[in-house]
Amino acid sequence: MPAHVMELPRVVVVGREVAGKIGGTLQDLELGNTGIVLSGANVKQLLAWRLEPSLRESGLKFSWQVVGESSFAEAERIALLAREEKADFLIGAGGGRSIDIAKLASFNCKIPFVSVPTSASHDGISSPFCSVRGLDRPYSIVAKPPIAIIADTDLISKAPHKLLVSGCGDLLSKKTAVKDWELSYVKTGEYFGRYSANLALLSANMILEDAEIISSITDEGISVVVEALISSGVAAGIAGSSRPCSGSEHLFSHAMDIVAPGKGLHGEKCGMGTIMMARLHGLDYGEIRKTLKIIGSPVRASEIGASSDEIVKALVLARSIRKERYTILEEAKLTEESARELALDVGVI
């Protein structure tokens, strides 16, 4: 088995109004006295009154930076600022962009960062992977996982419900991602980690088992999704790669980003991709489809404004997105005809 590095969060705090106690968490971690909070302008308005009193009461010095687009240039700007201010830590607060910038900037300047998600739309809140512009590829790169995650369910409950639904689609995709990883182990001898694979599957199974609770939009349902997303990100940290969390269904989602940009959220497209890839793997795709419908996630192309032709083109393109990653798509070798037949068979088109 090849050696790989496992990087995991040290502290995870989940519950109502925990963002307002961030100062105590940072003190316990003993990261230092100076930090930079990163967020978008809207999130700053939403969060400043929650975070700032706690940070001040804990004797921590901080500045607040409104971040721009999720890009290498923006991450380097923050890293340079962190060096100039001699920051001991970064706080990424938001739905995705600010956390991704905090990940990459902390990696660049070698200081820890804390993740404060304001929505539960994907497992990036805890994983070491980030999506930034300026890449020659449409998928995520490895950076640095958060040293702590502070997931305020009261705050997350105020995000659009569509984002929580997207997180569920991302979680269910672990069913096919793990099967793809296991297939690659058999076919190519790629390292396969049973523990991280089972942890990722646990996250997916939580959604399958608690779909009705999640659809009720209660604190309990939100906590299920948040905790599952955190576990999924930790699984990637244990594996040292995105393998337990990202497979052929993610390749389909990335292909859709190229074929039909702006149509559907990442997790929504992963959910639909999981239905189709489950069919190729011989899994119970009907159970996955039913669960997505209970939660309120799109299961048909028309529900995200996509055409049948766009779904077919994305299915054919998906295999070439990451040529080094062996998935069921290598076995299926979909043509336009077989891709259309697959999408029709499972009701995506």
Task: Reply yes or no on whether the pLDDT at 217 is more than 90.
Answer: no
Residue by residue, DSSP assigns 133-171 as: BT-SSSS-EE----SEEEEEHHHHHTS-HHHHHHHHHHH
How far CA 121 is from CA of 192, 258, 295, in Å, comes to 27, 20, 13
pLDDT at 301 over 70: yes
Cβ–Cβ under 8 Å, residues 9 and 234: yes
List CB contacts of 341: < 8 A, sequence separation 6 or more: none
d(CA 204, CA 37): 32
| The pLDDT value given to residue 276 | 98
- The residue ranges of every structural domain in the chain are 11-159, 162-345
The pLDDT of residue 1 is 56
Residue 130 pLDDT grade (very low, low, confident, very high; cuts 50, 70, 90): confident
CATH class of 11-159: alpha beta
Same fold, 11-159 and 162-345: no
Please say whether the beta carbons of 14 and 154 come within 8 A: no
Q: Looking at the domain 162-345, which fold is it?
A: Dehydroquinate synthase-like, alpha domain (1.20.1090)
Question: What pTM was computed for the model?
Answer: 0.92
State the Cα–Cα distance between residues 306 and 298, nearest whole angstrom. Answer: 11
List of residues 6+ apart from 164 with CB closer than 8 A: 119, 120, 121, 156, 214, 217, 222, 225
Predicted local confidence at residue 72, as pLDDT: 86
Mean pLDDT for 299-326 is: 97
How far is Cα 304 from Cα 166, in angstroms, rounded to an integer? 12
> Mean pLDDT over residues 221-244, rounded?
92
